[in-house]
Structure 1
């Protein structure tokens, strides 16, 4: 959202008016190259009208009104014009600042939302990482427990095989002795 400069007219003969040719010059923000307002494009015709209005103002009462006015009176009149102009500029600046503050607030809101979203994503990733590590740890402990059980089974199996061999040897010895007596 660009800060817009309020549109102005030419101040001639005590009134705001459009230029004779009704053309305007765009005001471009050099930072963004966006058009932020426009000003009237005064031509020689507009200058002639303004000069003629000034001559008429000075010629009022034979030019005595302004020419005979004291320096203090002239200063007071010019100061009033300056105050009005500065007051208008101040109002314009306030309007522009309100737009700028609104933009900053909107950008801050957006940045806060993005930050919170990123924080949430980081928390989710950390949570998933912790779950994955817990799962890996569980699987590793299960693997170790199964390996230990397998080792115990293999040890028991080896022991049983030795018993079987031992029992077979005893059976064959017993059979030899038993079988030998019967033959004699």
Structure 2
């Protein structure tokens, strides 16, 4: 499986996180996609089995979460869409890069340039994510051979991200069999599915 690893730095605090994105296996006609984030204090893993377009939550068949040394847990199917939103939010929060497909945002190409990062020197195509008012929210250097997403560097108002390495042969960081999750993180186990947060079952 292909993988790429990044250093993400928050500009205001200087806090550094290592983020690894990888394709770690195949199951039927689907692929296991995994994101590992480690800031030196906390290590979180999101692992998804995806068939087709990963931007469509209906195509996510399974979703596994692991935090630190706690056992890995697997979300029930009807929590998967929520889990995907958590994964996207985690990526956006750490990288500062909003999803280009989000409402009101568009992708612009702004020429080519040579960039040097710890992973090497690349001839990259410059991409910008722009909002409806024309403000540039993120600029990133795109190189197709850097799988799975092609990003070499990115810059936003709050973070910088640079490629540390990339390659093939990725293995999953989740080695144990996940236990079933009875409720999404932050939701009491007895809360009926679909009930708004903060509204618990009777008797609570």
Normalized per residue, the structure richer in helix is 1
Query: Is this a same-fold pair by TM over 0.5?
Result: no
Q: TM-score, normalised by structure 2?
A: 0.19
Structure with a larger share of its residues in strand? 2
Please identify the structure whose Cα radius of gyration is greater.
1
Q: Which has the higher contact order (CA 8 A, sep 6+)?
A: 2
TM-score norm. by structure 1 comes to: 0.20
